[in-house]
């Protein structure tokens, strides 16, 4: 009887020793592999999945190692990249630590809420439907990281929380002498600045022009506000030319027709545009127009502005003539 027990102990020890070697040794993967571990899977289900995917070669050894490591129930769902020759211990550690693959989605500054929703719907790593387009100017355009299986609504909620934090921080830092009275007005003006220039160095100057016009009770006369009033969240999907009839048509967003700011933002401004609105350039300029180089020519007087407009129209004529001549 004693001899039998001794042999049993020796055999058990040998099995344990071999199991430890297998658990700690190189795995079977000849190259890195991505595996999706679904939610709601038990430890045994995960082990069998890993064996089927070729990440491990003995599911029972993996289960034993997980049990001895007291990690049962700690393996997390997600999309994982297991490296070449990953040992079972390395595989377990990756799952326990939840080192899932992070995907990214970039929302360009100034996107309307409708454009943001479309961007999220196009991303196949996200799941779920968006039932309602968020209000304009309530989301923060940035690059966001997420795990596969994150819902689109969760992404919108993250963008809304990030927006609220940034807006609160910006509003607290504003100069109280600025002609904006509420955080909403700050967002509205920033959304216009965002659409007027894509150049970071111009944003504070453009913001200053609008502040100066508001102080003098001059209409902002911003073309993007006309487009938003006409086409809503789809206004900036493609380049558009404003016609005389569109300019004259009644439009609650047209800052050629209304005093002050439009009723809502015309997009979702980014941090830089918000910063420009609360920290504008120190200038008395009241006008700007495209200069033909991707930037703008600024002016303090209407006469100076008219000269800049004439230059821009001359550039447009030259370009049109060059295009018609095939050059």
Residue 66 to residue 93: CA distance in whole angstroms: 10
Q: Out of 162, 196, 214, pick the residue that ends a domain.
A: 162
List the CATH number of the domain containing 74.
3.30.1490.480
β partners of residue 289: 297
Is the model's pLDDT at 65 over the cut of 80?
A: yes
Within a domain: residue 170? no
Question: For position 311, what pLDDT does the model report?
Answer: 86
Whether 41 and 154 map to the same domain: the answer is no
Task: Taking each helix axis as running N to C, give the angle between helix 152-173 and helix 183-196, from 0 to 180 degrees, rounded to the nearest 10.
Answer: 100
Question: For position 8, what pLDDT does the model report?
Answer: 45
Whether 74 and 131 map to the same domain: the answer is no
Whether 128 and 258 map to the same domain: the answer is no
Domain count, the chain: 3
Within a domain: residue 168? no
Is the model's pLDDT at 6 over the cut of 70?
A: no
Close Cβ partners of 45 (under 8 Å, ≥ 6 residues apart): none
Q: What is the DSSP letter of 127?
A: B
Give the range of the structural domain holding residue 82, as residue numbers without chain letter.
26-97
Within a domain: residue 266? yes
Which of 150, 137, 231 is closest to 192 using CA atoms?
137
Cβ atoms of residues 45 and 16 within 8 Å: no
Average of per-residue pLDDT across 99-119 = 97
> pLDDT of 175-230, one tens digit each?
889 999 999 999 999 999 999 998 999 999 999 999 999 999 999 999 999 999 99
Can you read off the two tokens belonging to residue 248? 């004259």
Is the model's pLDDT at 114 over the cut of 80?
A: yes
Q: What is the DSSP letter of 151?
A: B
> pLDDT of 301-316, one tens digit each?
999 999 988 888 887 7
Within a domain: residue 6? no
Residue 139 to residue 149: CA distance in whole angstroms: 21
Residue 197 to residue 87: CA distance in whole angstroms: 53
Within a domain: residue 259? yes
Whether 153 and 272 map to the same domain: the answer is no
Q: Out of 43, 68, 97, pick the residue that ends a domain.
A: 97
Within a domain: residue 7? no
Is the model's pLDDT at 4 over the cut of 50?
A: no
Q: Out of 81, 97, 113, pick the residue that ends a domain.
A: 97
Question: For position 116, what pLDDT does the model report?
Answer: 98
Whether 224 and 285 map to the same domain: the answer is yes
Is the model's pLDDT at 276 over the cut of 90?
A: yes
Question: For position 325, what pLDDT does the model report?
Answer: 64
Q: How many residues are given for the chain?
A: 327
Q: Structure pTM?
A: 0.84
β partners of residue 37: 78
Whether 79 and 135 map to the same domain: the answer is no
Residue 114 to residue 234: CA distance in whole angstroms: 7
Whether 320 and 221 map to the same domain: the answer is yes
Whether 217 and 117 map to the same domain: the answer is no
Averaged pLDDT of the chain? 90
Within a domain: residue 12? no
């Amino acid at each position: 009887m004693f001899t039998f027990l001794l042999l049993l102990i020796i055999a058990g020890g040998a099995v344990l020793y071999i199991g430890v070697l297998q658990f700690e040794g190189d795995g079977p993967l000849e190259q890195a592999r991505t595996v999706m571990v679904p939610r709601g899977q038990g430890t045994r289900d995960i082990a069998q999945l890993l064996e089927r995917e070729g990440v491990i070669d003995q599911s029972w050894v993996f289960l034993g190692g997980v049990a001895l490591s007291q990690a049962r129930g700690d393996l997390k769902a997600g999309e994982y990249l297991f490296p070449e020759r990953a040992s079972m211990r390395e595989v377990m550690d990756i799952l326990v630590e939840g080192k899932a693959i992070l995907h990214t989605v970039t929302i360009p500054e100034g996107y309307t809420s409708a454009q943001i929703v479309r961007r999220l719907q196009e991303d196949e790593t996200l799941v779920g439907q968006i039932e309602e387009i968020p209000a304009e100017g309530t989301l923060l355009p940035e690059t966001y990281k997420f795990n596969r299986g994150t819902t689109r609504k969760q992404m919108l909620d993250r963008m809304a929380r990030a927006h609220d934090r940034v807006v609160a921080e910006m509003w607290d830092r504003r100069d109280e002498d600025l002609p904006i009275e509420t955080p909403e007005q700050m967002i509205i003006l920033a959304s216009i600045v965002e659409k007027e220039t894509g150049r970071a160095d111009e944003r504070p100057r453009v913001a200053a022009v609008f502040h100066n016009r508001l102080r003098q009770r001059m209409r902002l006369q911003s073309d993007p506000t006309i487009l938003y009033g006409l086409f809503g969240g789809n206004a900036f999907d493609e380049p558009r030319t404003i016609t005389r009839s569109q300019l004259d048509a009644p439009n609650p967003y047209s800052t050629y027709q209304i005093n002050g700011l439009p009723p809502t933002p015309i997009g979702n401004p980014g941090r830089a545009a918000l910063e420009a609105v609360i920290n504008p350039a120190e200038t008395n300029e009241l006008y700007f127009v495209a200069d033909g180089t991707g930037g703008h020519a600024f002016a303090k007087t209407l006469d100076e502005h008219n000269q800049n407009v004439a230059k821009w129209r001359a550039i447009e004529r030259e370009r049109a003539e060059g295009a018609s001549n095939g050059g």
